[in-house]
Amino acid sequence: MDELTEAFRALGDPTRLRILRLICEARLNVSEVVSLVGIAQSSVSHHLTRLKALDLIREERQGGFTYYSLALDDKAPLWPLIKLARSAHDAHGDHARLTELLRRREDVQTLNEKLLEPGQSWRLWSAALASLLPPLEVVDFGCGTGVLTVELARWARHVTAIDRSESALTKARAEAARQGLHNITFLAADLEHLPLERASVDLVVVSQSLHHVDSIEHVLAEGARVLKPGGRMVVLELLPHDEAWVKSRLGHQHLGFAPDAVEQAMREVGLEHTQSVPAPRDATSPFKAFLLIGTRAAARTRTVKLRTTA
């Protein structure tokens, strides 16, 4: 009983609760916890010591770092407390930051290994090639939680990131702020009716958003409308698939598309020189992607008839 009372008391501190929730999800070192929770290292160390004293977490040394992980399993008497902690509202967007941290960790490890194989350092290469682009005005159609948005913002002059989901936009804003990116405007709007001026952007990115919308024609038409003459639209979509569960679970309206049909729809809204980019094969996933690029037709030069005086 004392143990339970003590544990409840310890987790009455909101920051300590956040730290425990993060450690429930992944094994973390002190600096990682500091970067996720955003408080001083001395306070984080204090919270970790308290959680360790309650035997909720354990520490182990590896490669010069001390890592913390959950010390309980689902048979432990305090396990219901862990379940409660996990289900608490994530008001600070910790989960999104942790996901990004784990992705980076994996990337660094993969990069370290891949760098040993000549020609495999694709992340470095994509960053290098992106840096060769002119500073573009970009719109991200259906930005979701902003994973792609922040990558675009690293090289774009400015990104307008649009989504109808306020909760997705909140996460995307937090991620952009965490990464110190200030060249993004987040906008809650419907992709079929955008509050953007015509011919105002250089690049429209539509990544996995078309399968959510009612009318892909309306969304593509909005993309073409806001593009400057000569501007590009890049569409990443799924090939047709049979995973019908995505409709009820993820709100998809379409089970993928035939690339020819999307390409035709792009041409009908005034995009030309459409081309498809072959996607890498992944035999293990039922979802296979394709990429299409189109260019807004250049404005017709108006021929002005000059009146000649006799």
Given the complex with ligand SAM, which of 128 and 250 has the nearer CB atom? 250
Cβ neighbourhood burial of 236 (10 Å; 0-12, 13-18, 19+): middle
Neighbours of 174 (CB within 10 A): 17
Given the complex with ligand SAM, which of 51 and 265 has the nearer CB atom? 265
Query: For residue 187, how far is the Cα from the chain centroid?
Result: 15
* Shortest distance, position 165 Cβ to ligand SAM, whole Å: 4
Given the complex with ligand SAM, which of 120 and 276 has the nearer CB atom? 276
Given the complex with ligand SAM, which of 99 and 165 has the nearer CB atom? 165
Tokens of 138: 């970009």
* Shortest distance, position 168 Cβ to ligand SAM, whole Å: 4
* Shortest distance, position 91 Cβ to ligand SAM, whole Å: 20
* Shortest distance, position 199 Cβ to ligand SAM, whole Å: 21
Which residues of the chain form beta strands (DSSP E)?
28-29, 57-62, 65-70, 137-141, 158-163, 184-188, 201-207, 227-238, 271-277, 289-296
Judge contact between 152 and 205, C-beta under 8 A: yes
* Shortest distance, position 28 Cβ to ligand SAM, whole Å: 25
Contacts of 285 (CB under 8 A, 6+ apart): none
* Shortest distance, position 230 Cβ to ligand SAM, whole Å: 24
Tokens of 177: 């702020």
CA atoms within 13 A on the CB side of 208: 15
Given the complex with ligand SAM, which of 93 and 142 has the nearer CB atom? 142
The residues that touch ligand SAM, with contacts defined as CB under 6 A, are 142-144, 147-148, 163-165, 168, 190-192, 207-209, 212-213
Q: What are residue 29's DSSP bridge partners? A: 67
Given the complex with ligand SAM, which of 236 and 297 has the nearer CB atom? 236
| Helices and strands: H and E segment counts in the chain | 12, 10
Q: What angle do CA 89, 153, 180 make, to 5 degrees?
A: 55
* Shortest distance, position 78 Cβ to ligand SAM, whole Å: 37
Given the complex with ligand SAM, which of 23 and 256 has the nearer CB atom? 256
Given the complex with ligand SAM, which of 34 and 147 has the nearer CB atom? 147
* Shortest distance, position 213 Cβ to ligand SAM, whole Å: 5
- Write phi, then psi, for 199 (nearest 5 degrees): 50, 45
Q: What angle do CA 202, 206, 207 make, to 5 degrees?
A: 130
